[in-house]
Structure 1
Amino acid sequence: MTGQPARLRDVAELFEDTTPDREVTAMAQRIARRLALRRRARERRAERGAGRPVSVPYRYRSDDIDLDRTIEVLTERPVPEDTDIVVREPMRTRRDVVLVVDVSGSMKGEKVRIAAATVAALSEEATARGDRLALVAFWSDAALLKPLDAHVPAGRLLDQLLRIPARGLTNVGFALAVANAELARSPARHRAAVLLSDAVHNAGPDPRPLARRFPRLHVLLETDGEHDAPLAADLARLGRGGLAAVATHRDVAPALNRLLA
């Protein structure tokens, strides 16, 4: 715990006179595209819906007929059509997710790859499901790069992350406060935050009390360097979420699948 103050920074202020490394940017974009393509292919093969079954008119998707509702309709229509049949279909409930990415230190090497994979995976998941995604980047301060109600392509989000200059300290508590405020604006039934960090908290107050405020807080713990596993475990436990370790960008998709299933 430290007494260092933190503030929410304007995005335009961060990017002034800052140009990301072209080679790093290209690498991150390649990872994002590959992961996006894999997830879209898997989504097409996946079973439609995974939520509570509801009765809807037949649309050539489900063969689970709701007999009671169908009989009610047919008694009023002597010459029925296909859409007069009522079937049960599992309907997904929209989910709002806030991704909180640690950009303290230097965004290079595997840290960039992990960030690229996480942004790509959650962006594609949100698009496929009709969910909404917000993005908070943080160091000793924080910036809301994408609110829940804004549409920003995954490639642009990655570019913004990479254009944030290297920062030294890590204020997990303030980042969680920003994420929780954004999530509090959501009317969605299912709301969650995903913290991507090494959890080496060295600026600002203890972040544990903030974790309690979330409906669900999952933690992706970066373990490719120095990290604080006990704090990460505490945050996930207090936030009623899950904890998954990611050492490389290849660990990201399986970890998110487990946490957000």
Structure 2
Amino acid sequence: MVVDLAGERGTGDLTQAAGGQGALTTRQTARRRDVAELLEDRAPDPEVAALAQRIARRLAIRRRPRDPRAERGSGRLASVPYRYRSDDIDLDRTIEVLTERPVPEDTDIVVRERMRSRRDVVLVVDVSGSMRGEKVRMAAATVAALSADLVDDRLALVAFWSDAALLTPLEQYVPASRLLDQLLRIPARGLTNVHFALTVAHAELARSSARRRTAVLLTDAVHNAGPDPRLLARRFPELHVLLQTDGEHDAPLGADLARLGHGRFAPVAGHRDVAPALNRLLR
């Protein structure tokens, strides 16, 4: 189930009544951790790792059609119809088109252009407690599904507990299998500081020049360390919440974060719910 807040997406309206435990605040200081000091030297549990990789290979959300209005930029080279910008003709593709169109139009010429990323996504994963059981399955499903869907865009990964770490920045491509390996090598943690996780994610999105900048928060929303995360949520252009409901969870706070973050809210009870939910969240 995906809850469409205020029709399509949340409005960021602070005048609506708040729910959940978000008013709980503590004075505990959070810090951004360096990946090198964070990851354990030992390999993750072989059974857990094998399960996560099987899910990653099996799950993917459907690909979206290419956006012909993508902007020119400094990213990857792509073959596109001539739009009076580039004069770097892709001869092979142009010849293929001209064999079917004896009287060509200007736009039948295919050129090579560097494309700007159309969408940047920061995935924010709650690793507080133990990364085992259904929790690790849902994390694997989310990483795999987003990696498959964002093949033409950029994905960053933030892991959080009472602290947080940027495991992969937007400008660095990392395969889904390696992202999962990094998540599984983070030692089990206790408290959950959603506010600081959103702080790290917002800072990463602030560096982006993409037309669409999105954060996806995977958490049970049991916020028990740090300031109230709701005031920070409203600073996001688009913040979606995947709420893990297989154990203790705070649905009102999760819904508040999505509403204030101009996003959507989707409770997920198991890893098989993740891909359909992401299809709706990122439409």
Say yes or no: TM over 0.5: yes
CA distance, structure 2, for counterparts of residue 226 and residue 101 of structure 1? 16
Which position in structure 2 is the counterpart of 1:35? 59
Whole-angstrom distance in 2 between the partners of 1:53 and 1:4: 44
- Equivalent residue for 2:196, pick from 168, 174, 191: 174
2:169 corresponding residue in structure 1 = 147
C-alpha distance in 1 between matches for 2:70 and 2:228: 42
Root-mean-square deviation (Å): 2.5
Distance 1:53 1:134 in 2: 21
CA gap of 1:92–1:186, structure 2 versus 1, over 3 A, is closer
Shift of 1:211: 0.1
In structure 1, C-alpha distance between the alignment counterparts of 2:104 and 2:170, rounded to whole Å: 36
Which of the two has greater helix per residue?
1
Cα distance in 1, alignment partners of residues 104 and 136 from structure 2: 50
Assess, with a 3 A threshold, how the Cα gap between structure 1 residues 249 and 51 changes in structure 2: closer, same or farther: farther
Q: 1:200–1:228: 8 Å Cα contact kept in structure 2?
A: yes
Question: Distance in 1 between the 2:141 and 2:272 partners?
Answer: 8
Structure-to-structure mapping, 1:33-72, within 5 angstroms: 33-36=57-60, 39=61, 42-43=62-63, 48-50=65-67, 52=69, 56-57=81-82
Q: Which residue of 2 aligns with 1:8?
A: 32
Q: Report how far residue 14 of structure 1 moved.
A: 1.1
Distance in 2 of aligned mates of 1:207 and 1:125: 28
Question: Which of structures 1 and 2 has the larger relative contact order (alpha carbons within 8 angstroms, sep 6+)?
Answer: 2
Q: Establish whether residue 216 from structure 1 lines up as the match of residue 233 from structure 2.
A: no
Distance 1:136 1:92 in 2: 23
Amino acid aligned to 1:206: D
2: CA distance between counterparts of 1:20 and 1:12? 16
Any unmatched runs of 5+ in structure 2? 1-24, 72-79, 84-92, 109-114
Task: Name structure 1 gaps, 5 residues minimum.
Answer: 64-79
Is the aligned partner of 1:156 residue 2:173?
no
State the match for 1:84 in structure 2.
Answer: 105
Identity %: 73
Q: Do the aligned residues in 1 keep the contact of 2:70 with 2:116 (CA within 8 Å)?
A: no
Query: For each residue in 1:189-241, what CA deviation from the matched residue of structure 2 results, as whole angstroms up to 9, or x when unmatched?
Result: 10010000000000000000110110000000000000000100110000000
Work out whether residues 49 and 92 of structure 1, in 8 Å CA contact, stay in contact via their aligned partners in 2. no
Distance (whole Å) between structure 1 residues aligned to residue 70 and residue 207 of structure 2: 27
Q: Give 1:208's aligned amino acid.
A: R
1:76 is matched with: none
- How far, CA to CA, are the matches of 1:53 and 1:17 in structure 2? 42
Q: Is the 8 A contact 1:52 1:92 kept in 2?
A: no
Using the alignment, how far apart are the partners of 1:255 and 1:28 within structure 2? 19
Q: How does 1:238-253 map to 2 (within 5 A)?
A: 238-253=260-275
Task: Say if 2:131 is the partner of 1:107.
Answer: yes
Q: Who is 1:66 aligned against? A: none
Aligned length: 231
Deviation at 1:82, TM superposition (A): 5.2
Runs of 4+ off more than 6 Å: none
Asked if the contact 2:116/2:210 (under 8 Å) is kept, the reply is no
User: Residue type of the partner of 1:110?
Assistant: E
Structure 1 position 181, deviation (Å): 0.0
Contact 1:50 1:92 (8 Å CA) reproduced: no
Deviation at 1:16, TM superposition (A): 3.7
Query: Deviation at 1:81?
Result: 5.0
Q: Please, what TM-score do these two structures have when normalized by structure 1?
A: 0.82
What is residue 122 of structure 1 aligned with on the other side? 146
- Shift, 1:92, TM fit: 10
Aligned equivalents of 1:209, 1:5: Cα separation in 2:
18
TM-score (norm 2): 0.76
Alpha-carbon offset, residue 242 of structure 1: 0.1
